[in-house]
Amino acid sequence: MDCSLSLDMADWTDLPMDILVVIAESLTVIEDFTSFSAVCKEWQSATAILKKKPSLPTRYPRIMLSEKVDTKDQGNQDDRYFLNLLTSKTCKLKLPEARSRRCLGAHYGWLFTVGFDLQINLLHPFSRQQICLPPLLTFPDQQYEYDETYPPQEVIRSFVKKIAISSNPQTKNNLHDYNHECVILAIYGEFDVLAFARLGDTLWTNIQVPSRCYDDVLYYKGKFYAVDCHGVVFVCDINDNNDPKATVVAPAPSETQDQDQKYLVESSGDLLLVSRIRGGTIFEGDDDDNKKALYYTIDFSILRLEEYHEEGNNYAYKLTKVNTLEDRALFLGNNVSTSLPSSECIKANCIYFTDDNHELYFIGESGGGGRDTGIFDIENGTIQSNYAGESRSDLSPPLWYI
């Protein structure tokens, strides 16, 4: 008697519902959860039994496009579109929680949002779960003089420049509980200084900094790091709430300029300092034939921070030029700067970038940010498009959702 059972003969819809629920709860990325629920009605019912959709990360990075504010159907303004790099198709999510809000990529599948209500949240667009953070007016070092003619709502487009996050805000053991050890560090205000908050805090705590105009922040090997517009790198000590401060660990590189935008990113265990070089009429003066754009990315440079212990040296790190990312790619923009391995939809040795310099697209770029996006090939120095359509906004331009 042949007791073997062909997989083709198995009726997977007959699995007990409690088993299906356990499987649904064990899925680890958004794509698997979506595919699971699409198998059949029984499997979709198992996901519906869950009290909440799990706040999972995405397997591959996506571009979250800007909201469509010119649509006649007000209900459609709650729709946000996410471009899938693997399929080059967009998926639509109903996301009223992000409507008319400044959005930044916060990593682990979460967004950081600031609204005209002055409230700040972490938002997971798939599960639509939100975590309240201290509101905008609790940032301590605000130079703006708010009044009836200039209310705080005027600054939300640029008040928070970048953020970094220490860990997944959701606990692994309970998909509906929050990790109160999670810390968010932000670049904020008129002078782009630093502050942090832990989940559950009621206000933001300032970090004493020796300079201003920070470009990027990153959580790396248990510590927060920051880089200013000159390229000076700092480590932030936030363990003492009474005296949080930033200390210089690497000098400004001689080969970069202040106008080059700086990023910090971890790649294969290394801490990298990336400079983004832009051209255009803003940098080069008036263009006679009026064919050049106001600004556009033309190049990148990459330096690695290496520990430096030579006697008499004043810095913990020295900078070494990097010529290749090998089998990895960087994702830079209004998101936590990220490095990912190459895959069927991620090209090796490339930098994927979105339009993230609000100072430039506020100057006179009609329609807001979103035009200066692309894929930079480090080997040959070429740039190609990463999105064929147009998606522009001065409030929440396209960003990498990772």
Alpha-carbon torsion, ordered 27, 28, 31, 33, to 10 deg:
30
In this prediction the pTM is 0.88
Of residues 49 and 97, which shows the higher confidence score?
97
Report the alpha-carbon distance of residue 204 to residue 160 in Å, rounded: 12
Of residues 11 and 387, which shows the higher confidence score?
387
pLDDT at site 241: 78
Tokens of 32: 């698997």
Closest of 300, 319, 265, 304 to residue 372, by C-alpha: 300
**In the chain, pLDDT over 70 holds for what percent of residues?**
84
Per-residue pLDDT at 97 exceeds 90: yes
Mean predicted confidence (pLDDT) in 175-196: 90
Q: Quick one: 4 exposed, middle or buried, by C-beta within 10 A (0-12, 13-18, 19+)?
A: exposed
pLDDT at site 173: 55
Confidence of residue 1 (pLDDT cuts 50, 70, 90): very low
Report the alpha-carbon distance of residue 284 to residue 50 in Å, rounded: 57
Per-residue pLDDT at 2 exceeds 50: no
Report the alpha-carbon distance of residue 393 to residue 305 in Å, rounded: 35
Residue 97 carries which DSSP code? Answer: G
pLDDT at site 296: 92
Looking at beta carbons, which pairs linking 277-284 to residues 24 or more positions away fall under 8 Å?
277/301, 278/357, 278/360, 278/372, 282/360, 282/363, 283/259
Alpha-carbon torsion, ordered 356, 359, 361, 364, to 10 deg:
-170
Looking at beta carbons, which pairs linking 109-117 to residues 24 or more positions away fall under 8 Å?
109/30, 109/55, 109/56, 109/57, 109/58, 109/401, 109/402, 110/55, 110/165, 110/169, 111/64, 111/401, 112/160, 112/163, 112/184, 114/156, 114/159, 114/160, 115/156, 116/153, 116/156
Mean predicted confidence (pLDDT) in 244-254: 95
Mean pLDDT of the chain: 87
Closest of 64, 71, 72, 70 to residue 98, by C-alpha: 64
Cβ distance 152 to 119 under 8 Å? no
Report the alpha-carbon distance of residue 354 to residue 333 in Å, rounded: 5
Q: Quick one: 256 exposed, middle or buried, by C-beta within 10 A (0-12, 13-18, 19+)?
A: buried
| Secondary structure of residue 78 in the 3-state scheme | helix
Q: Are strands 110-115 and 120-123 parallel, antiparallel or unpaired?
A: antiparallel
Side chain identity, residue 164? A
| Secondary structure of residue 37 in the 3-state scheme | helix
Per-residue pLDDT at 342 exceeds 80: yes
| Secondary structure of residue 56 in the 3-state scheme | coil
Which residues 6+ apart lie within 8 Å of 207 measured at CB? 185, 193, 194, 195, 196, 236, 238, 244, 245, 246
Residue 280 carries which DSSP code? Answer: S
Of residues 311 and 299, which shows the higher confidence score?
299
Per-residue pLDDT at 13 exceeds 70: no
